[in-house]
Amino acid sequence: MSADYAVEKNVVVDDSGVNERMDKAVLREAAAADEAEHKMTIAQGWKSHRKAILWSMALSAALIMEGYDVVVIGSFYGHPAFLKRFGKVDPTNVNGYSIPSEWQSALSNGSSAGGIIGLMINGWAADRYGPRIVMMVATVALTAFIFLFVFANSLGMLVAAEVCCGLPWGVFQTLTTAYASEVCPIQLRGYLTAYVNACWGIGILLSSGVVKASLTIESQWSWRMPFLIQWVWVIPLFIIVYFSPQSPWWLVRHERLDEAQAALRRLTNPEVVSEDDLRNTVAMMVHTNEIERAIEEGTTYIECFKGLDRRRTEISMMVFAMQLLSGQNLIGQGVQFLQKAGISTNLSFSLNMILNSMFIIGTMASWVLITWIGRRTLYFYGMGLMSVVLFVIGGLGWTSDHSTFEEDGTTYIFKDGKFISTTYAIGSLLIMLNFVYNATLGPICYTLIGEISSTRLRQKSIALSRIAYQVMNIVCGIIVPRMLNDWNWGPKSGIFWGVSAGLCTAYIWLRLPETRGRSYGELDLLFEHKVPAWKFAKTKVNQFAAETDHKVESSHHDHVDEKTEQI
């Protein structure tokens, strides 16, 4: 099989022999489905796949619960009642108490450690038993693990709760994205996968609102109540998963073609999509699956790092890891970061709600941008802009040093008349940083990892990419609390993350391909022929051509017409 990039008119074709081996009638059906999907408009996609959209959005609601759960513990680092119960005396903190950095790291990293285990289990179990069964089991497990949060009496017990709950959270993180990428046509794929980020934002915003409301409760339920509310999600989520259609791609991979067509019937509008259309779509899935089997037969984790899939796995893992390398982790520590910048407790929680609302507002903005701008372009400029904003925040850190004094039992923060100008500027820039992140990197990440991975390895590839995120989360969970507390960097830590985001911008330019408007079969061939990342957008693909119809030249370096490329 050729491993080189075709140069004749900048075209790549399927030269694996799959088209010669397949039944010609099935091949024609697959080609018809592929052509119809490429010609479909967004309005037509909404009309024909309205049920798929609603099911995808309903399942993605699991991320609302996870976004709430994962972030609520970070808000407690500035919560007076929680600090008095679990913290130690710290006169430099506006609340008079603080959680030691090592315990902050343990609490932040607990869910990541559990998530890594859950992700590894999910990558195997979802392929074997199907995503519906695995997600229902995870929901039941989460119901039991929440007890640990609600009745915790020590930081150690809270860490154990984070680890245990991380197991089902790891399942939710991948299944929702994979499902969204598999049940919708090309034109809707970006919107539904980006919506996953909005679900995170809804959960995070709810978390910040509940925690702020709990500030007025004068008992242990001030911090226990936000944990207790997590049980609200469990029963509705289980019912949604139980009645949801199975992924047709999973059924095709297990050669259950009649069931795949039945699942598609539940996901589409029968007034628009005929039985012939459903049969053609199944044929297209079979054709894509056969192309991938011809490239790499296995579906184990090892296959993700072999041959052509190694590049796809590397890009997917980096796309997710770059979410944290962009400096987004400062947003996750928003309350503490704002308080270290000199903002009072009540105001810091209010600004944190505005900060977290950017997850929803930014995702809505991304739906507009993704209509006109490619994934690669959004990721590149989003990361570059975040780097600039982080450098500005870091620079302001040198003018935001402050002193404290007490009067009538209240702690005040002030310095040389600079309190309002500098600290509010930092808070505003942090909000801007979160908007940029959620209009570009945040939602587009889910779109990219759903498109870059091969369909046969999608569950495992997404699991590995999320593991890369969790590993980075553990690293950030260790160093960020020390930046803000032990090292007393405060806003100056923006310089460190500005450099990190700048390096990520260079990686995006060199390695991240454009996947917009491509079917999964087309993406398979682009990766098979080793097309450079910056040439994906303008390279034409004919996945249904016979091997003898086109010739793939031996090298792309000497013949590519640079005028046809998107740089």
Q: Convert the pLDDT of each residue in 135-151 to its tens digit.
A: 999 999 999 999 998 89
- Report whether 540 contacts 9 (CB < 8 A): yes
Cα–Cα distance measured from residue 554 to residue 419, given in angstroms and rounded to the nearest whole number = 65
pLDDT digits (tens, 9 = 90+) for 385-407: 999 999 998 888 776 444 444 44
Per-residue pLDDT band at 198 (split at 50, 70, 90)? confident
Look-up of token digits 């430099």: 92
CA angle 534, 313, 554 (to 5 degrees): 50
pLDDT digits (tens, 9 = 90+) for 229-283: 888 888 899 999 999 999 999 999 899 999 999 999 999 999 999 999 999 999 9
Judge whether residue 108 has pLDDT over 90. no
pLDDT digits (tens, 9 = 90+) for 536-558: 988 988 888 654 344 333 233 33
- Report whether 181 contacts 450 (CB < 8 A): yes
Q: Which residues, 6+ apart, have CB-to-CB distance to 295 below 8 Å? A: 1, 16, 307, 308, 309, 454, 524, 528
Per-residue pLDDT band at 345 (split at 50, 70, 90)? low
Relative to beta strand 97-98, strand 88-89 is antiparallel
Closest listed residue to residue 224, CA positions, set 168, 173, 171, 157? 157
Judge whether residue 73 has pLDDT over 80. no
Structure tokens at 395: 């620079």
Cα–Cα distance measured from residue 205 to residue 31, given in angstroms and rounded to the nearest whole number = 44
Per-residue pLDDT band at 421 (split at 50, 70, 90)? low
pTM attached to this predicted model: 0.79
Judge whether residue 83 has pLDDT over 90. no
Q: What is the pLDDT of residue 110?
A: 86
Secondary structure of residue 410 in the 3-state scheme? strand
- Report whether 35 contacts 185 (CB < 8 A): no
Structure tokens at 4: 């080189």
Q: Average per-residue pLDDT in the chain?
A: 82
Structure tokens at 489: 């960097």
Inter-axis angle of helices 24-39 and 275-295, nearest 10: 110
Q: Is it true that domain 34-511 has CATH number 3.40.225.10?
A: no
DSSP 8-class letter at 4:
S
Secondary structure of residue 540 in the 3-state scheme? strand
Helices of type H across 22-79: 24-39, 42-48, 50-60, 62-75
